[in-house]
A = this chain, B = another copy of it.
Amino acid sequence: MDKAAFWNDLAAQFSVDAIRATTAAGSGHPTTSMSASHLAAVLFADHFRYDVGNPKNVANDRFVLSKGHGSPLLYAIFKALGVVSDAELLRLRRLDSPLQGHPAPLQELPWVDVATGSLGQGLSIGLGMALGQRMAGSPGRVWVLMGDSETAEGSVWEAMQAASYHELGNLVAILDMNRLGQRGPTMLQWESAVYSDRARAFGWHVIEIDGHDVVQIDEAYREAEQHDAPTFIIARTLKGKGASVVENKEGWHGKALDAEQAKAAIAELGGERSLSLSLAAPAEYKASNGGSPVSLPVYTDGIATRKAFGEALAALAARPDVVVLDAEVGNSTYTEDFEKVAPERFLQMFIAEQTMIGAAIGLQVTGKTPFAATFGAFLTRAYDFIRMGAVSRASIRLCGSHAGVSIGEDGPSQMALEDLAMMRAVQGSTVLYPADGNSTAQLVQAMADRSGISYMRTTREKTGLLYGADEKFPIGGSKVVRSSANDSVTLVGAGITLFESLKAAEALAADGISARVIDAYSVKPIDAMTLREALEETGLLVVVEDHWAEGGLGDAVLAALADGGAPLVGRVIKLAVTQMPGSGKPEELRDWAGISASKIVEAVKAAPA
């Protein structure tokens, strides 16, 4: 059989299997799988270089199914590769099957690198992989299969600009231009010239092809492999290609064919097949090792925690796996300290937070340990990417600086006041909020070795020294920084509010009220035992946070106290920001918000007995 015949046959098998799997499931997206069958057949049969036995091999090519609803196609490929059985394929979308409605990287599916299904994210993830490959000196290439609907997401254009800026000749995007979105035609339908102009204007090499002509596809892939700029292949396709009941028809986006329709469609596609696919091996590649021991900074005086974060990152540069991403605020978050010592592992994403996070997710696939930082307020821009990072089981480390009203004069647009809520509500996340330099440095190092999504909140202002360099800060722990046998109230703070709590405790002591003070530097997981003990012993907890009242430290404390139906006995007062702030001096704004030392004192004195 000649190559073209094999490609066409393999494509038909992919389409047939996508139909069979979705019809068996009673739901799913067959037609979007079918439009890309030829694109996939040629790619995997003759271009993709990959070690199926070692998915983590850095020399591998990478494939990102950015249009994640095309998962039946992916699983059909896996079947042809012999890593998923036909019986498994027909158990698509069941609770006990790893073949989910949208792809997710599970232990049983090590060939899936990242989760997709929230559209417009795959290209930025592919960008990160391509950056990681290049840093590692890998011969691999990244192939991202995109839907046309998802080009409406701005994040796609962020990734486009970053790929040309970073000159990633190892990145190929394949646009499956099948004209139909979920509820009707896409914005540009088959206007390939418009896509082409846009991609070219964003610095990409562009190739337009018929996405069902295997020879054109093969030529396009060859051209992409030879080109030293990122290449954008615009493939005109038909949604539901090859089955007249669905081909190029509206109303068939996320819908399985019924048994009869499936039978006819499969016959039209030439019936079931069981072709096997074997992939070309990756090119030879030798990883370079190296690295030197990390020597964390040690503080003997006060420092802004954002600055300590930057200095700790700079120390971690001794580890060659550590890379840092910036969204054009490195002189505010102090990631510039890392840039100074390891510019080759400092990646400037400009003001494009979504792509910064997507790239971080891609980088960790290639074995890197990425840290990404911006103002905490602006991480809200990338919440969907962070959420999907958790579905990807990605290990990425985020830092949000400029927490709370304490930033002062710049006003509410720059104040992170929802970041704790947002980051707590990420599955498996770690949320840290250190108060001084030494705790910050240690927790930054702990993040480097932490799996999942971890987040550190830092403060703009310089704050005092609380701990010696030898103090340990386990994740999930807390510090009782002030206590006595006759405490009648416990003040719980973190970051900036820990200092307000300590000042309040001093003032209360002068009035004969003894206050315990807890540093809740680990907001998630939180130290429930110490908090419960404090409530039992003092009867009143006052939780103080420079954050909205919803979802932050106060809610975390309450949840910890109630956990598992533990008896609640006592009182808990949350002091948090409730009104929209303006500009002002940090200390003025804390007082205005009711989270200053004097307002804490007032709250304690006014608390019901």
Contact = CB atoms under 8 A, between A and B. Distances in A.
Contact of A414 (B102, B197, B352, B565): B102
Interface string A152-163: 111111100100
Given A377-B387, A583-B95, A608 B565 contact: yes
Interface stretch (A7-15, A181-189, A212-220, A442-450): A181-189
Contacts of A326: 183
* Nearest 7 A/B pairs, CB to CB: A154-B154, A117-B413, A95-B584, A551-B551, A568-B568, A421-B425, A197-B201
A478 B412 CA distance: 32
Contacts of A427: 417, 548, 578-580
A439 interface: no
A421 B608 contact: no
Interface in A265-282: none
A472 interface: no
A227 interface: no
Contacts of A393: 580
A411 to B, nearest CB: 4
23 contacts: A95-B583, A101-B414, A102-B414, A119-B351, A149-B350, A152-B351, A154-B156, A181-B328, A183-B326, A183-B331, A186-B350, A194-B203, A197-B197, A254-B410, A381-B383, A383-B384, A391-B412, A421-B550, A427-B578, A427-B579, A550-B555, A559-B574, A562-B573
A559 B94 CA distance: 37
A425 B198 contact: no
A552 interface: yes
Interface in A390-449: 390-391, 393, 409-414, 417-418, 421-422, 424-428
Contacts of A418: 383, 387, 422, 425-426
Nearest to A592: B95
A411 B117 contact: yes
Contacts of A200: 197, 201
A573 to B, nearest CB: 4
A239 to B, nearest CB: 15
Nearest to A96: B584
A85 to B, nearest CB: 18
Given A330-B183, A350-B187, A409-B25, A551 B562 contact: no
A117 to B, nearest CB: 3
Interface string A80-110: 0000000000000111011111101010000
Contacts of A203: 194
A490 to B, nearest CB: 13
A150 interface: yes
B378 A380 contact: no
A524 interface: yes
A128 interface: no
Given A183-B336, A558-B555, A550 B524 contact: yes
Given A149-B328, A378-B118, A421-B424, A558 B562 contact: yes
Contact of A412 (B27, B115, B564): B115
Interface in A543-578: 548-552, 554-556, 558-559, 561-562, 564-574, 578
A389 to B, nearest CB: 11
Contacts of A119: 351
Nearest to A591: B95
**Chain A residues touching B, range:** 35 or more
A101 B410 contact: yes
Nearest to A254: B410
Nearest to A28: B409
Interface string A338-366: 00000000000111101100000000000
A585 interface: yes
A580 B105 CA distance: 12
Nearest to A202: B198
Interface in A98-157: 98-102, 104, 106, 115-120, 149-150, 152-157
Given A153-B154, A559-B574, A100 B411 contact: yes
A592 B94 CA distance: 13
Nearest to A567: B571
B201 A194 contact: yes
Nearest to A589: B95
Given A417-B425, A567-B571, 13 more contacts: A28-B409, A94-B583, A95-B589, A102-B414, A117-B414, A152-B349, A154-B352, A183-B326, A183-B332, A254-B410, A391-B413, A422-B422, A565-B571
A97 B384 CA distance: 36
Contacts of A230: none
Nearest to A588: B95
A291 interface: no
B565 A568 contact: no
A575 B114 CA distance: 29
A102 B410 contact: yes
B328 A409 contact: no
B549 A559 contact: yes
In the complex, which of the residues A182, A354, A381, A393 has the most CB atoms of chain B within 10 Å of its own CB atom? A381
A221 to B, nearest CB: 25
A285 interface: no
A492 interface: no
A393 B412 CA distance: 12
Contacts of A161: 152, 187
B580 A391 contact: yes
A259 interface: no
Contacts of A115: 412-413
Interface in A508-547: 524, 540
A149 B94 CA distance: 46
